[in-house]
Amino acid sequence: MSSDSSPTELKDAARAEYHARWEAVETFKAHELAAMTEERGKEIIHSLRLFAPAPPKLFNGEGLVEQQAIFHRHRS
């Protein structure tokens, strides 16, 4: 690019370069995914970590319905 390029031309060139790189990365990822074995996919899935702690178990006896059931069992 010449030094007398307008800001719009520079912006367009940068945008085109960004899209070309994006396409290259997406193409690489598509080829990698197509060549991936099921075993490798399982390895990747098992290596993932949660970003937040796992939610508590739903039926741990702390809910209102569970408490009422416990209360009514002791009452009868």
Share of the chain above pLDDT 70, in %: 83
Cα separation, 76 vs 69, in Å, equals 11
Q: Which domain holds residue 29?
A: 7-75
At 16 the pLDDT is 95
- Residues 28-56 pLDDT 10s: 999 999 999 999 999 998 898 877 777 66
* Contact (Cβ atoms closer than 8 angstroms) between residue 13 and residue 1: yes
What are the backbone dihedrals phi and psi of residue 59, each rounded to the nearest 5 degrees, phi first? -110, 65
At 68 the pLDDT is 82
Within a domain: residue 2? no
Q: What is the total count of domains within the chain?
A: 1
Residue 75: pLDDT over 90: no
Residue 30 C-alpha from the chain's centroid = 17
Q: Chain-wide mean pLDDT for the chain? A: 84
Within a domain: residue 64? yes
Within a domain: residue 1? no
